[in-house]
Amino acid sequence: MADNPLRLKSIHHVELWVGNAKQAAYYYRHAFGFSQFAYAGLETGRRDATSYALQQGKARLVLTTPMAPDDPINDHIRLHGDGVRDIAFHVDDADAAFREAVARGAQPVSEPVDRTDGSGSIRHAAIATYGHTIHSFISYRDYAGPFLPGYVGKDAPGREAGLLRIDHMVGNVELGRMNSWADWYSRVLGFSRYISFDDKDISTEYSALMSIVMSDDSFAIKFPINEPAAGKKKSQIEEYLDFYRGPGVQHIALLTTDIVATVRTLRANGVEFLRVPDSYYDVLGARVGAIDEAFEVVRDLGLLVDRDEEGYLLQLFTKPVEDRPTLFFEIIQRKGSRGFGKGNFRALFESIEREQALRGNL
């Protein structure tokens, strides 16, 4: 059992750097059901960038766009398109977390500083992880405002879909780098290897991937790390790496306790999901046995089901949420299973490959 050397408490928020945060905020509110609760921009005295803070359950997204052409955020957007910049942690003590992480070999990005406004202060620091992705450390002093210093409360409701929190976040890294990044999460953050998949678990005729799931000691923060594996044609991980121009966050999995209601809402909101072949449902009952949900509903909504020794899970994956085939989302409900849907990999990858073929990338 690992300890918690950085005293991580939770994922505080996930920040995406995007080309047009105003429009992205509208999409995440109207399609995914996040509600905006805070804002920082020209009207609040912030001149360099505009940020929207959105929340659904405990999952918080921040969408940020720079205002000036020479802002370094533009380098990230030019290279990667819209994508995740920061998986920020709430910690006991940002100074201690940063010191310990750097002592354990992390590359510093931002030294600890106070961030202050009329509502009080927080401490902030950051380290680098794979690609241009970072982990911020945030600890609270006396801050009593809506989100973080610099933000004002500004509500704009979304079409709530019952999403509760981030279940896991997956990083894609280059061929041959999965083990070293898994070791990095072990050495720097004190995470343990929770489960791993190799190309025998996850391969189709054309493409394969390998994955190691790293988790904190409470299993609340889970970060699978993927790398491509050899196949006849380009794997989905290679396609991601080509279009993201390097390693980065591949998907964010959001937890619900009623996936039928959640996916009904998301579909009505216009979220596009991957669809497995109908043949998947011909053998589903034999593969997973009895489940609480009505089989016809599961099939009509296109939900995927997997069972292991502990129970079962239901999941569904969106198509990429940008024009580049990069970041996508997963909706997941756990009914005892702590797995990742290994039994669905083949059907899922075949449907991903159909999409890749349509994009001319297989």
Contact between 254 and Fe ion per CB under 5 A? no
Q: What is the closest distance, in whole angstroms, from the C-beta atom of residue 342 to Fe ion in the complex?
A: 11
Please state the φ and ψ torsions of residue 299, each to the nearest 5 degrees: -70, -45
Contact between 14 and Fe ion per CB under 5 A? no
Which residue in the block uniquely carries the two structure tokens 């016809």? 296
77 versus 253: smaller Cβ distance to Fe ion: 253
The span of 197-205, 236-244, 249-257, 305-313 binding Fe ion (CB under 5 A) equals 249-257
Question: Which tokens go with 11?
Answer: 């994922």
Q: Which of 15, 86, 330, 353 binds Fe ion (CB under 5 A)?
A: 330
Contact between 239 and Fe ion per CB under 5 A? no
Instruction: Name which of 274, 319, 281 is nearest 300 in CA terms.
Output: 281
Cβ atoms of residues 313 and 335 within 8 Å: yes
187 versus 342: smaller Cβ distance to Fe ion: 342
The span of 13-21, 33-41, 70-78, 329-337 binding Fe ion (CB under 5 A) equals 329-337
Contact between 229 and Fe ion per CB under 5 A? no
Q: What is the closest distance, in whole angstroms, from the C-beta atom of residue 226 to Fe ion in the complex?
A: 10
**Could you say which residues in the range 103-132 bind Fe ion, by CB under 5 A?**
none
Instruction: Name which of 314, 330, 324 is nearest 355 in CA terms.
Output: 324
Adjacent-strand bridge partners of 229: 208
Query: Which residues, other chains included, contact 137 with Cβ-Cβ below 8 Å and sequence gap of 6+?
Result: 6, 88, 89, 91, 94, 97, 98, 101, 112, 123, 124, 125, 126, 127
Q: What is the closest distance, in whole angstroms, from the C-beta atom of residue 209 to Fe ion in the complex?
A: 12
Question: Which tokens go with 341?
Answer: 């849907």
Q: What is the closest distance, in whole angstroms, from the C-beta atom of residue 274 to Fe ion in the complex?
A: 12
CA 196-202-205 angle, to 5 degrees, is 160
Instruction: Name which of 72, 87, 80 is nearest 325 in CA terms.
Output: 80
In the chain, DSSP assigns E strands to: 8-17, 35-40, 49-56, 59-66, 83-91, 108-117, 120-128, 134-140, 152-156, 165-172, 192-197, 208-215, 222-229, 248-255, 304-308, 311-317, 328-335
239 versus 330: smaller Cβ distance to Fe ion: 330
CA dihedral 76, 116, 135, 21 (to 10 degrees): -40
The span of 23-31, 62-70, 330-338, 354-362 binding Fe ion (CB under 5 A) equals 330-338
Q: What is the closest distance, in whole angstroms, from the C-beta atom of residue 82 to Fe ion in the complex?
A: 20
Q: What is the closest distance, in whole angstroms, from the C-beta atom of residue 181 to Fe ion in the complex?
A: 16
Contact between 253 and Fe ion per CB under 5 A? yes
36 versus 172: smaller Cβ distance to Fe ion: 172
210 versus 253: smaller Cβ distance to Fe ion: 253
The span of 57-65, 147-155, 246-254, 257-265 binding Fe ion (CB under 5 A) equals 246-254
Q: What is the closest distance, in whole angstroms, from the C-beta atom of residue 155 to Fe ion in the complex?
A: 30
In 41-189, DSSP assigns E strands to: 49-56, 59-66, 83-91, 108-117, 120-128, 134-140, 152-156, 165-172
Distance CA 319, CA 328 (A): 6
Q: What is the closest distance, in whole angstroms, from the C-beta atom of residue 246 to Fe ion in the complex?
A: 20
Contact between 167 and Fe ion per CB under 5 A? no
Q: What is the closest distance, in whole angstroms, from the C-beta atom of residue 331 to Fe ion in the complex?
A: 10
65 versus 351: smaller Cβ distance to Fe ion: 351
Q: Where do contacts with Fe ion occur on this chain (CB under 5 A)?
A: 253, 330
